[in-house]
Structure 1
């Protein structure tokens, strides 16, 4: 490490600059105490070599040597400062004003001998591996960055026990599988219909997913109990009141934990009064509450008691507001406790226990202060609403046009790089021309190829940057990159990490190929299409061509299928990836369905649909089409085997598809469907956003 040597050099320079003057002033005093008098001048002329004059001469000489040293250090520092400033003007990666000033001051004071603004390790030589397992400490967020502990994680807006966080991530994954199951292929258009663009999940869910990815549970850790069992073990029977600043945040955590437990295991249910739901989620919470499974909203305690008695098995948590009838609440608490449930009052509970709730989620029993304080999930209002969307039924109406979607980016064409504004001094040298070919492959495992040889990229965050810029040909700014790669972390702590990652990535590519692949203009980063080709861009171009062509559509559809070897960034679990991966997969499925519908040969149509099922083994429409073709060919046994295997696949993933049998059998009587008459979909709404 260089910083100890730099610190030692700084201390030596400071000692040389401050030490001699202090010693001279302390022992001798100033070299000249004033203008000499005429008598002193005459005495010096008559006898110049006296003890006093020699001392004064030596003192003046020492001061002159110190001035020479100070002048040398000052000139050296100014030279370094000027050279660093000139170099910084040539760096294509600008830094904020504070980072520039600190880099210039560090270069001047510490005597940096090489022009560098990062602490990146030396660049590795190109090798046959696309990505090495070794990663610098700052490549990804550490557990300390996200405040991860063995029993839970901290995300913006709250704290979740690990089991609850894992349930959120599992529900999000299940939501995407349901979206894949329910998608129906559609005719190709330049931008695709509104239904072909899945909405992104809320940022809070991305933060949970990223945190669990960065800090997985230890392999030898015992499996924690499910959320509902943990809640029942913590909450006392006979009702519990919650007071203190953490009452409402813990109430939201109870709501989420109980509903997630019911989502994973249909046994637990939850009832809540309308007033309590408003206290927890705000005045507009009732529409969301109506779409939550296993949640019953009652007007008051009088309606909750018969509901508890009718549930079988009666495992539930009841949330009620503070201002309630004591007799009704006491009766409800008794019925709930008798049925293995719990009653929670958001406020003091005069006929039962009242615990103090802290904002951190800890509960304190004032009657037994020596007992350990259990910690429950705590959420703010916005985060709770976001996390609940992964288990809510879809909106009954058409999504608002303002809902953010992920359109398929248009194909890009190479264009010359805009020159930077001229600065003082000589023009910046341009890199020598390179005849090497760079190809970025993101369909499948992300790999950067230089002359068909994979380049080693040390940082996993750098690989993610390449994939993100490939999926956004028009570029992305600093905020978009940091929010996508490190969701849920404060941006001010990520700017330096992003600059370090980009600097290391650009340096690695420039050292291996001599090319500047990542451009930076107007605070937007983008891949330079003149220096690198991307397989995803070729797929985009094929989709745009097929959507606009009026002749030879079959060839254009086949070009889409041929340009799709695997899923986008296969094997990666980056939170930003799902919407883009899904819309890309859907356009390929559209092409496969169009090819099969246009095919007159049933055997050829069978092969095309099998290819589509291989691309998305969860899509119900493709399986229904394939069952129809097998039935038309007279192979009923193969059709039944395919259908049963598909049902088992859905069951293994936790997707219940009770309407699939009706969909497949009803469509099989009409033969293979066409794009204008797709198989009839289930009228019941799927359990997806």
Structure 2
């Protein structure tokens, strides 16, 4: 990654789908050995909080195998990284990130810093104050799901990562559920497909989404495509959890392939999908059924 998508900020930090820190338009690449990177990640989860040395030590070395001095080394290393990257990028000090020392612990000061999961949280919260009929909340939800590029700190196995990872994943799925509902209300089939794809990329076993796709193609008279989605759903459920589709899914499939749901399309023809995968990636066919 080079440059920044948010040049108005001194620092840009991404944690969703990947971990990147960009200072003054320059990506930080030299994290060196040790836990400096993990220290930054942990402190970002607790802005405006002083974290005791004991808690930080247990978070960064959960097996308690490292000497107690390791935390001081990690703090020193992180400060040096932030200072050197900031100076290299701006020719003067630093970035807007500082690690502050307190009597019994440390805190992070983040001025002019953009963090993706914090922005994601803010957008989701803002969307809760409106209804799906209003453009503002829909736009906020769309911005939020575009920010969600994957799991929080993927690949990290620290005990404190998983709760945040699951929380953000749940928020993303909830936002997408609302966006699918809004698209269905306006009969925007392409948007329904777009958001369903994102759902299945996050949660390949989301059976409600398969029902939505089966119903959509049933309404369009694309019965073989409804059949493909049903079979994909059944296959992944059997492989993952050893069960078949729920009664609601079987009933929707029956209605879709029987033609009960078929309607006359008001807009452009939605061409059938020629191939699908568990992640929701698909190729668009060249002709409607």
Of 64, 76, 82 in structure 2, the residue corresponding to residue 503 of structure 1 is 76
- The answer for the alignment partner of 1:477 in structure 2 is 52
- The answer for the alignment partner of 1:526 in structure 2 is 107
**Partner secondary structure for residue 106 of structure 2:** strand
Of 533, 536, 541 in structure 1, the residue corresponding to residue 117 of structure 2 is 536
CA separation of 1:509 and 1:626: change in aligned 2, threshold 3 A: same
Q: How many residues align?
A: 234
Q: Aligned equivalents of 1:606 and 1:436: distance in 2? A: 34
Q: Aligned equivalents of 1:562 and 1:573: distance in 2? A: 25
CA separation of 1:525 and 1:539: change in aligned 2, threshold 3 A: farther
Q: Aligned equivalents of 2:178 and 2:189: distance in 1? A: 14
Name which structure has the greater RCO, CA cutoff 8 Å, separation 6+: 1
What's the offset of the Cα at 1:494?
4.7
Q: Aligned equivalents of 2:31 and 2:72: distance in 1? A: 16
- The answer for the alignment partner of 2:149 in structure 1 is 565
- The answer for the alignment partner of 1:454 in structure 2 is 27
Query: Would the aligned equivalents of 2:237 and 2:243 in 1 still touch at CA under 8 Å?
Result: no
What's the offset of the Cα at 1:554?
1.3
Query: Would the aligned equivalents of 1:441 and 1:534 in 2 still touch at CA under 8 Å?
Result: yes
Q: Aligned equivalents of 2:147 and 2:9: distance in 1? A: 23
Q: Aligned equivalents of 1:666 and 1:479: distance in 2? A: 56
Q: Aligned equivalents of 1:461 and 1:449: distance in 2? A: 19
- The answer for the alignment partner of 1:442 in structure 2 is 15
CA separation of 1:499 and 1:619: change in aligned 2, threshold 3 A: farther
Q: Aligned equivalents of 1:618 and 1:522: distance in 2? A: 49
Q: Aligned equivalents of 2:48 and 2:216: distance in 1? A: 42
- The answer for the alignment partner of 1:660 in structure 2 is 245
Query: Would the aligned equivalents of 1:442 and 1:569 in 2 still touch at CA under 8 Å?
Result: yes
Of 182, 192, 196 in structure 2, the residue corresponding to residue 598 of structure 1 is 182
Q: Aligned equivalents of 1:546 and 1:579: distance in 2? A: 23
Give 5+ residue unaligned stretches, structure 1.
1-127, 129-434, 672-689
- The answer for the alignment partner of 1:432 in structure 2 is none
What's the offset of the Cα at 1:458?
1.0
Q: Aligned equivalents of 2:122 and 2:176: distance in 1? A: 17
**Partner secondary structure for residue 123 of structure 2:** helix
Q: Aligned equivalents of 1:637 and 1:522: distance in 2? A: 67
What's the offset of the Cα at 1:532?
2.7
Alignment of 1:340-489 (within 5 A): 437-455=10-28, 456-459=30-33, 461-475=35-49, 476-489=51-64
CA separation of 1:646 and 1:452: change in aligned 2, threshold 3 A: farther
Query: Would the aligned equivalents of 1:517 and 1:532 in 2 still touch at CA under 8 Å?
Result: no
Q: Aligned equivalents of 1:612 and 1:553: distance in 2? A: 19
1:436-468: CA deviation from partner (whole Å, max 9, x where unpaired): 822222112212111222112113622222222
1:344-369: CA deviation from partner (whole Å, max 9, x where unpaired): xxxxxxxxxxxxxxxxxxxxxxxxxx
- The answer for the alignment partner of 1:546 in structure 2 is 127
Q: Aligned equivalents of 1:519 and 1:548: distance in 2? A: 35
What's the offset of the Cα at 1:667?
4.5
What's the offset of the Cα at 1:577?
1.7
CA separation of 1:463 and 1:646: change in aligned 2, threshold 3 A: farther
Q: Aligned equivalents of 2:119 and 2:166: distance in 1? A: 17
TM-score, normalised via structure 1 length: 0.31
- The answer for the alignment partner of 1:609 in structure 2 is 196
**Partner secondary structure for residue 570 of structure 1:** coil
Q: Aligned equivalents of 1:483 and 1:621: distance in 2? A: 40
**Partner secondary structure for residue 542 of structure 1:** helix
- The answer for the alignment partner of 1:577 in structure 2 is 161
Q: Aligned equivalents of 1:606 and 1:647: distance in 2? A: 19
Of 171, 183, 205 in structure 2, the residue corresponding to residue 618 of structure 1 is 205
**Partner secondary structure for residue 445 of structure 1:** coil
Q: Aligned equivalents of 2:17 and 2:63: distance in 1? A: 27
Q: Aligned equivalents of 2:245 and 2:182: distance in 1? A: 25
CA separation of 1:651 and 1:571: change in aligned 2, threshold 3 A: farther
TM-score, normalised via structure 2 length: 0.70
Q: Aligned equivalents of 2:59 and 2:220: distance in 1? A: 48
- The answer for the alignment partner of 2:273 in structure 1 is none
